[in-house]
A and B are shown apart, each in its own frame.
Chain A
Amino acid sequence: MANLDTALKDAMTIDGAIGAALVDYTSGMTLGVAGGTPEIDLTVAAAGNTDVVRAKMRTIEMLKLNDDIEDMLITLGSQYHIIRPLAGPNGKGLFLYLMLSKTRSNLALARHQLRTIEEQLEL
């Protein structure tokens, strides 16, 4: 079991990681951030991606799929962004956000590692 800081630190050890954040999608605020660059403000990314998560959840609800998001992958020209809502009972309303460099990362491995981090995260 890992706490918030350890989990974010672990997320930053994933190959190609640029930044990681734990975000509350009811407010868009971050509970914690790690990494990032002077150009990339992770709090801005968190607020923006909150709208992405909300839109997808609303769509699933509208389609009456009766299912949950396991993770979301957004592919940019030079980056991968992985969003992973927390599944645990005390992770309700939160998601992990990971930015990866496309050239330096292994997507399958990163996704697997992020799942492990999410499963072990204890708040």
Chain B
Amino acid sequence: MSTGDTFLPRRTAQQPKLPPPVKLPPSLAGDPSLPYPSIGTELHELRLQIPGVQGSVLGGVDGLLITHDVPDTLDPDDLAAMAAATFGLGRQVSLRLGQGEFRQSTVRNEAGYFSVYAVGPHALLSVVGADAINVARLHLHAPPVAERLAKLLTPA
């Protein structure tokens, strides 16, 4: 046995164990088949029902705007994108803690609130509220709205 036969252990490339890539459904944004008038009514009703709601936006989890009910002072595209960012963080937290699907997240700032609610698995309802909003009432009222919106987004 010659010393030439010994060789250092080789490092072989290992295939990382990654789950197969998720097949994403087509974006909900810009889908002409959605019932926009009914969705608009739901968003409008939410603003009327709860004092302090400045506006609401329905967006996809991809951050693209579906439709909105916000005044000119707010940019609905920005809100839809921020909702998706909030959802991303919420989902990571939930995955790490093993707490299931993302349901809602609220950001409270010095002068107001920004709440994001899951609308089914592919859409998000974000609500901008004034500081004086009754946030408990919003949390009681918005989930049923999100549920109805999820039904409207699911093709029958």
Q: Is B28 an interface residue (CB 8 A)?
A: no
- The residues of A that contact B136 with a CB separation of less than 8 Å are 27-30, 43, 46-47, 50
B140 near A50 with CB under 8 A, answer no
Q: How far apart are B147's CB and chain A's nearest CB, in angstroms?
A: 17
Q: Could you say which residues of chain B place their CB within 8 Å of the CB of A46?
A: 136
User: B140: which of A27, A44, A51 is its contact (CB, 8 Å)?
Assistant: A44
Interface size on A, residues (CB 8 A): 12
- Give the contacts of A21-59 with B (CB-CB under 8 A): 27-30, 43-44, 46-48, 50-51, 54
User: B residues 116-156 with Cβ under 8 Å of A?
Assistant: 132, 134-137, 140
A47 to B141 Cα, complex, angstroms? 10
Residues in B whose Cβ lies below 8 Å from that of A30: 136
Name A's B-contacting residues (CB within 8 A): 27-30, 43-44, 46-48, 50-51, 54
12 contacts between A and B (CB under 8 A): A27-B135, A28-B134, A28-B137, A29-B135, A43-B140, A46-B136, A47-B136, A50-B134, A50-B136, A50-B137, A51-B51, A54-B134
